[in-house]
Amino acid sequence: MWRVWYLKHRVRETLENKDGVGVVEIILILVVLISLVVIFKSQLTSLVETIFEKITSESSGI
């Protein structure tokens, strides 16, 4: 019986926990990700095109 109470208590604590990732941290992560995409745009475009070409060429053999 005490295990059920303990589990309910832990779930309630977890749901009521106000500590978390703040807006500033989320914005910083987004800025870094967008910067990486802008910096490596041509390499990413080339990589995606190569992957899709390989998928297209190998799917025609199925």
CA 21 to chain centre: 14
Residue range 18-40, pLDDT digits in tens: 666 667 778 889 999 999 999 99
For residue 45, being part of any structural domain is answered with yes
Q: What is the pLDDT of residues 48-58, one digit of tens each?
A: 999 999 999 88
Quick check: is 44 in a domain?
A: yes
Token digits of residue 8: 């309910």
pTM, two decimal places:
0.48
Residue 17 resides in a domain? no
Q: For residue 48, is it within any domain?
A: yes
* Domain containing residue 42: 22-62
Per the structure, the count of domains in the chain is 1
Tell me if 6 is assigned to some domain.
no
CA distance 25 to 31: 10
Q: Is position 4 within any domain?
A: no
CA 57 to chain centre: 30
b/e for 22-52, b at 16 or more Cβ within 10 A?
Answer: eeeeeeeeeeeeeeeeeeeeeeeeeeeeeee
Query: d(Cα 38, Cα 31) in Å, to the nearest integer?
Result: 10
- 16 domain residue, yes or no: no
